Structure 1
Amino acid sequence: MPHPWMPQALKADVGDHAPCDPEFPARAIAHITADREADAGTPLDLVPFGNLEGFFTGGGRGRSPHLLWDPFTGAFTQFFPATSRSKALSDKAGGTRTNRAGKVVIQIEALFFPHCRVNGKVFARLVDTPCRGWDDLHAWINSWDVPDVWPMGPPTSLTRRTCPADKWRSQGGWYAHAHVPENDHVDPGSWPAFVSPPPGPLSDEPRFEPFPGVPFFRAGRRSPVIAGMHGRLVDEDCDRYTSSTAIDVWGPGDVRSYTAWQQKLGLEGSAADGVPGRFSWDRLAVPNV
């Protein structure tokens, strides 16, 4: 049995679950958040992941997808289990029940808008980003028997191309928001290529270190968890260390480097004090030690 909750995702269940329509084939719907309007001449900074997470668990919960995906860090937050419909599509009364039309209808919002700026670099298309976490995302959706096909062709531009009713009813696979009946959006514009599925079932074991709590991070604490954190901060270009020794001991270099990570996530003030909290820790994805 595949997992209703993606193992790599932070669970933020918004409730209000409802079944899908099993007479339709399994499908996935690709979106981008498109939360700012920029162009090549006037790029804009990417909106922090936490802002969108707060929107989908707050005032925007009536528009929540299953998953919010940050292709720059590989972070995920999941709002509905795969066995429930989500709410990211327009669904007209008496129509095809777009949010439910499938054995599963897994909807993914990638945190992205064209010409967003991250760490000084501008990205015109989603596929230009690092697409971190895509292999995990694809494997999880694949486990729900969503076929690796785009019945309307993969998205290559921000244009509208509505799927004919007979194809929508009969063909499973991946659809762009731009393809879904009863909708008028043109996203996502591009999407990463499919990757080979893993050789076996997804593991029930968490792949990342759970948050050990704020008191864990005290001066002089020695732990392989801190060494793993050190490595991830370096991977994320948040290396503010002045020494490569004693990487498993919490010290001033960890505080400086973790502050850089919190700031990279869009945190400010006391929320970027260099002491790990659950939000930033879950997104750093420190491997199990």
Structure 2
Amino acid sequence: MARPQIYPKADAKSQWFQTRYPGATMNANVGVIHTTEGTDWPSYGGGASAPTLTAKPDFKAKKLLFRQHFPIDKSARALVNLRGGTETNTLNAFQIELTGTCDPSTHAKWTKAGYAHIYWPEAPDWALRGLGELFAWLDKEHGIPLKCSVKFLPYPKSYGSAGGQRLSARAWQGYYGWLGHQHVPENSHGDPGNFPIAKVLAYAKGTTPPKTPTPSKPTSRIAALSSAVKPGGRHSQVRDLQQLLIKAGYGPIKGAVTDFYGVNTQGAVARFHDRNPKYKSIGLVRDPRIGPSGFVALQKMAGRR
């Protein structure tokens, strides 16, 4: 009997990308949780960096709205998947992006500005119940186990791999259950922070959820620039660069966020240099390449410490 490929509560028309990006056929047995770091439906570059599903809160109705982008058993595209390296997108991974943030500084900024949003480490119970229903359906129809054996670190400690949370290629290949973007090899992103996975799994199982622990105090998260981050290149840190540019007021960046340093990202970097000429390469009228010192300055402008 064929397994159902569309979540019954999902809109599979508004942003359906399967026709443009057919992907690889697989049998989903692991779930990867992301956060969008935005408050609206992302464009995903027309599907180039889309997950399987996106969940967006409807605050008035106190429920989650879902948009599905690919069938459950087709590979999504929200992870870094290096050619010749560890299979990530294509290794039986169902992926969900949660609209909102895992970043405490972004949460504070949006709260101050009056933006309605979910800070996922402290998500309301109605949102966690909505995810629990999805997880229960995925367990029943696709066998993604309602278990998690990894620790979700708070953002920004979860960024990169210094926190020890990133799985090895072998551990990733043998993992079944739920984890976050912060755990996937070949990736550097720290979402979804200290996500309350135990609560979601409890709701999915119909048991009493545990109390939410007190959030950990944020730590320093100024990151060094990778030499691979350059115009025309691809690198996971480009996504971070794009988000920083947008947060600091140098956006919008059409098609963001992706790992590709394209013309739109170059234009935003050039705008950054126009306003901060001391970080510009000497002799260039228009400088589209971010440098190490400029990248540090940009992070501080976006609120990092």
> TM-score per shorter chain, which class?
0.5 to 0.7
User: Partner of 1:9 in structure 2?
Assistant: 10
Counterpart residue number, 2:40:
48
- Residues 241-252 of structure 1: matches in 2 within 5 Å? none
Pair 1:67-2:60 in alignment = no
Instruction: Name whichever structure is richer in helix by fraction.
Output: 2
Gaps of 5+ in 1: 36-46, 199-289
Secondary structure of the corresponding residue to residue 63 of structure 1: coil
- RMSD (Å) for aligned C-alpha atoms: 2.6
1:138 to 114, 135, 140: 135
Partner SS state of residue 48, structure 2 = helix
TM-aligned CA distance change 1:77 to 1:165, over 3 Å: same
> Residues 260-279 of structure 1 correspond to what in structure 2 (within 5 A)?
none
User: Is 1:149 the counterpart of 2:129 in the alignment?
Assistant: no
The amino acid that maps onto 1:145 is G
Q: What is aligned with 1:127?
A: 122
Separation in 2, partners of 1:127, 1:141: 24
1:113-152, CA deviations, whole angstroms, 9 ceiling, x for partnerless residues? 1414497767544433341622321122212111122232
1:56-205 maps to which residues of 2 (within 5 A)? 56=44, 59-71=45-57, 72=59, 73-102=63-92, 105-113=93-101, 114=103, 115=107, 116-117=110-111, 124-129=119-124, 130-131=126-127, 133-143=130-140, 144-158=142-156, 159-160=158-159, 161-189=165-193, 190-192=195-197, 193=199, 194=201, 195-197=203-205
State the AA in 1 paired with 2:24: P
Pair 80,122 (structure 1): closer, same or farther in 2 beyond 3 Å: closer
| Correspondence for 1:19 among 20, 24, 27 | 24
* Equivalences, count: 177
Greater C-alpha radius of gyration = 1
CA distance in structure 1 between the aligned counterparts of 2:205 and 2:5, rounded to whole angstroms = 18
Question: What is the TM-score normalised by the length of structure 1?
Answer: 0.55
Contact 1:8–1:136 under 8 Å retained in 2: no
Question: What is the CA-CA distance between 1:97 and the residue it aligns to?
Answer: 1.9
CA distance in 2, matches of 1:186, 1:162: 10
Which residue of structure 1 lines up, in the alignment, with residue 250 of structure 2? none
Q: Which segments of structure 1 move beyond 3 Å, counting only runs of 4 or more? A: 116-127, 154-158
Identity of aligned residues (%): 25
Amino acid at match of 1:28: G
* Counterpart check, 1:29 vs 2:32: yes
Which structure is higher in RCO with an 8 Å CA cutoff and minimum separation 6?
Answer: 1
1:63, 1:188 → 2: CA distance?
17
* Superimposed CA distance per residue, residues 197-236 of structure 1 (whole angstroms, 9 cap, x where no aligned partner): 48xxxxxxxxxxxxxxxxxxxxxxxxxxxxxxxxxxxxxx
